[in-house]
Chains A and B, each alone.
Chain A
Amino acid sequence: MKVANRKCIRRMAWSNLKGSRTRNIVAIVAIALTSILFTVLFTISLSVVNGFQEAGFRKAGTYAHGAFVRLYKEQYEQLKEAPEYQSYGARILAGVADEKPFNKANVEITYCDKQVADYMYLTTEKGTLPKEGTKEAAADTKVLQLLGVEPVIGTEFSVSFKVNRQEITRTYTLSGYWNADDLAPANHILIPQSEVEDLMEAVGTTTDIRMGQYAGSYDLYFMLDDSSHIEKTEQKILKRYGYQSEDPRQDNYVSKEVNVSYALARLNKADAESILIILGMAALIIFTGYLVIHSIFRIATVNDIQRYGLLKTIGTTKRQIRRIVYMESFLLAGVGIVVGLVIGYGIGALLTPVVTKQMNGIRMLVSTSPLIFLLAAVFSFFTVLISSMKPARIAARVSPIEALRYTETASVSSKKKRKSRKVSEYRMACTNVGRNKAKTVTTMLSLTLAVLVLNITYIITNSFDMDKYLKNVKADCMVANAPYFQASGHLFSETNAVEENVIKDIQDTKLVSDAGRTYGIGSEQYVYQYVPKDTYVSSMENNYNSQENIDYFLEHETQIDGRYESGVNLYGMDDFCLKTAEVVEGDLSKLKEGDNYIAAVYGKDDYGKVEDSNWAKVGDTVTLRYANGVEWYNPDTGEVYSEEELDMLPEDEPCWERPVDYHDVTYTVCAAIALSNNMTYRYYTFDEFVLPSSVLLKEYPQAGVMYYAYNVKEGKEQEMEDFLSDYTTKNMEDYDYESKLKWMEDLDSYKQMYLILGSALSLVIGIIGIINFLNVNLTSIFVRKREFAILQAVGMTGRQLKKMLITEGMIYAFGSLLLALLVSLLLEPVMKSAVENLFWFCTYRNAVAPIVCMVPVFVMIGAGLPVALYHFMVKKSIVERLL
């Protein structure tokens, strides 16, 4: 039977709510705090995920989902009609500039429509994009800086570049500019479409994709409705228009690009450890919220139990009563959650920079994803829901008769007897606290949680071990070209070698005590090693080559004595740098004895374990081929390509490089060593070896200085720091440095992040705990108002009563502190392994200091609150309270 009683139930719930203002406020505050915690958690998490994704976009150069690149105009016109795009835009290549002053940058001269400019973060900060039919151009600040042009709109500037490999110089008027992004793969000059055509005409070239003449070719960038099937959608579109992207030799070949950041971001999201941490935090918040919200609702329900009994008597069903209780909870939750979302987002926005500051290359951007609010609301609502279940059951189950007798005391003292002992205010306090053990324990737990979180925060930050953190830092300072320090996969290039005048400037400070250079082989320099077949094959397998491919390579690869040609990461180290190496096996001093010894480098993980990461063992011989150049040839036919042929070479022709003008030297491995991570190339491509710098330079004088490392005279560290920071920002902007001082600041700020987040978390949990305590106390004193009047009537003085209440408060205070102490002692083994596994630079140090520090705070709360409530209560006379 269905009765239209919803309205009635709703009215009943509503009138109930209006009747208990204090309870409502307490409940709303508790729900809001819970919802604040969730919102902050999700704001920070999603901001970090977004930050990573955005950094990925910036590295890819665009946030567009994908692109069809190098299209003829007709192909572009055709493909742009596909209905799958949510938005799309065109980009037309005009030329590239790679000669001085752009030899260290990668500058592209293109036309981009508004949409693509937006996709590629090329939005002008000042001015506008160039207007059609003019000689205007827009560029980024890096381009302008390299050209030596002041960023002023209307300035004329000349720039030389190549259109289909033909040099041309043009003068443009600056129409707009934007800040260059260090992470971006290229720098840009944007010109009007009319100028592209003009340029091609001027040099007399046409677009011919197969011949590598890309000037005038279109790139079609687009966003789809959904980022999850980019590649499949692209294939679908191509197929529809009769194109394919597999076989470049076919005429209908179209090259497609997929923005991997979307896939990577999804992988990141699925990063198990982060998910676990976020889930753990969510569980903690649910638990905290449950403790307080459940307690508030339960007390409210018990106080209202007579009314529920009455409702039952007049014919309200269980279901209806449950619905009344839920309805009340949900109305309160509605208000609390909205308040929590707003405040929480504010706090989250404040805390996000604290976190993102610690992550390299992430720009601070607070996520505005609606997912934050959705997740926070859902989790908060879930917490309220589970918190209301038991109270709803209690209310629904009560029998009309029992309701009259149902009080907090009666409901729980199932005990019939009690051993009589001497009565004192202390013993009475103990009895009172023990009246409802479940309530007492949850209240204590609620207070305990805050202390525990604080203590764990303290333990983690206190365990940060500077010595461990600095164990890889073997020199006070390292100076190198900026890309060396960037974690973005820049290969060391001879153009990025440290120049001798920079080293001289540093030495001229007279602050250096001991120093050394480490030389490296640049990406356009050619030194090879010859590795055993197994090593060769396994490295090919690591690069996901097919068996067919591997066999092909084994057949055609250059060999010496049955060993196969491979690249090598070779170092030439001065003594200062060489001394930082850790000898795993063998005798490093032999390196000095003659020119024919070499050291093999083995890797170490973050925990200091040496990995089996080099094919060469102590005693093995290693042959290196030092070449002054390479030539390009067809491995099938042996035909060597000329420069011109190379430029015109179809993409699918096999084209290998091999050394020319070379000499071979064979060394004996005298030692296996481990280099600290900071002293290496900072990327791993091939098995690594170390020679003394003098030996390397003798064989290969063109090797460049990869970094210059040195120690600073005692007490001069700050002075050197000031010099370097000034030098690398004002004099030599291409250079950057690392220093022990900077590393120490790094760890400190990392520590600070944990302290800020942990303290903020424990503060909010603490407030929740106190609210719970306040509510429990308030109601327990309210419920016992009459009992206290009796006690006073039969002769308990105010002092004695206060003493009793203070004792009750103290039992809560010290009970929760002891519980915190106990739990943290029990957690110690788990904490130890968690802390040391999570952070390699941690040495677990247990601590209880925060718990001890909390004693005065808890004493104040435990004693102050009940006393305040007592004074509030005794405003009414005994007689009034007795009635």
Chain B
Amino acid sequence: MKRRSFVKNVSLASVAGPIAMKGLNFQAISKKLFEPSKMAEDRVLVIIRMNGGNDGLNTVIPIDQYDNLVIQRSNVIVPEPSILSITPEVGLHPVLTGMKNLFDNGKQSIIQNVGYPEQNRSHFRSMDIWTSGSMDVNETRGWLGRHFDNEYPNYPSAYPSATYPDPFAISMGNELSATCQGLMANFSHAVNDPTVNYNLTGSAVNDGTYFGSHMEHISTIINQTNLYGDQINTAAAAGNTLSTLYDAANPVAVYLRYVAQMISGGLKTKVYILNVNGFDTHDGQVLATDSTAGAHANLIKMISDAVNAFQDDLNLLGLEQQVAGMTFSEFGRQIASNASLGTDHGDAAPMFLFGSCINSGIIGPNPIIPNAIDNQVGLPMQIDFRDVYASILKDWFEVDPIDIQPLFEQTINYINVLGACNLGLAENAKDDDGILIYPNPATSNSTLKIETLNERVKIEVFDLNGRSVLLICDKQFNQGTHHIPCETIDLKAGEYIVKVFKSSGIQSTKFSKIR
């Protein structure tokens, strides 16, 4: 890294907030010493990048908008009866049986209409924005890279170390992830097969020229490759994998199986990143003869099946509470399809979160599909992806919000996404017998899905100080599943807990109100 970039980054950081020049070492160290958070230290985040711009509307289908979808995209929309409905309003593409299984078991959530203001429709620029978590063109670091820079200063020089013998992040395959680009180096380590042995030699000195910086980079990589390689080999050898659901012909499944093996073998890597290419479906997204099949269906099925197998494996390995995952794509696609059985670059799209610690359900309302075609129109964004990233850092890695805000350029609006396993939030945790509030965050009104016996039920909303702010109902229900409208429109923006008091027990879940 040359000085110009270094200076640029520092000044940028200083403008954004006290991240780089404040007592960064002190803060990171003091946090380790005085706030040991063993749980967060052991937690793993798996990120699946859907490269090319995933067609969200053919992945998560707003069933209540189906008629207008037919107007907009008759040649790619899947037939309504084939849709796998997960709520009365929201369905999944018929190949997503794995994801539906996860959703039904409370292990998957969908965040609808995620994007950022003034969507950029260039793959490259938009991917830069998503990986950096910043709309600033001068931001060269990834969002996790910035976080790691704060936590582990002087990377890569001081690493691996006795305290941190394992790579902080692993990119499955041959390429490093821009998401993990730090100030001086990329925090991710590329692993194609964790059982391959490394024994490389070679080093060269940095003479201060461009050539010298390459010598230093290559020498560091050789050294790290050996040291990290040994750790990875050891973990892979010690690790296990138990699920029979992995398909050896599915490359995502193969990589996720390796991830499970490394985690179960005790590797302390915090982030694993997988990349799936091919989502730029301008043409041939579906087969002319069958709109439920084709290139796009194959891709999302590959991910859905693999994640389902991975979650099964984590369950069998007893690691479910340690691992969570998310997907992202640089943009969604336009509402109207084109004549080539495809779709063009659009705007917002859904993200998936998976794991047993997520706050399962559907966050955000269905997009509204107009009944007239207006070329080039994509879905407007409702949830900023940077809020999702920040919420993951807060909920999952238990990073102090004081440290999170400076990582991002806009004021963070936290969303309750991954806190279900956190201590002290147990009573707010989602349960596994069907309580679900959607959309979440709520803008105007939400719906609460509950299951009841033939019993009296009181439903009440509390703020985080435990004050009752809204009584939704208090009445007799028949046995079954109920979708209860909740008039949350008058609530202030913020986080709330909705509690369901039944004679069979109390259930609660957290939700956010925005705007």
Do A and B pair up? The answer is no
Q: Which residue numbers of B lie inside 8 Å of A, CB to CB? A: none
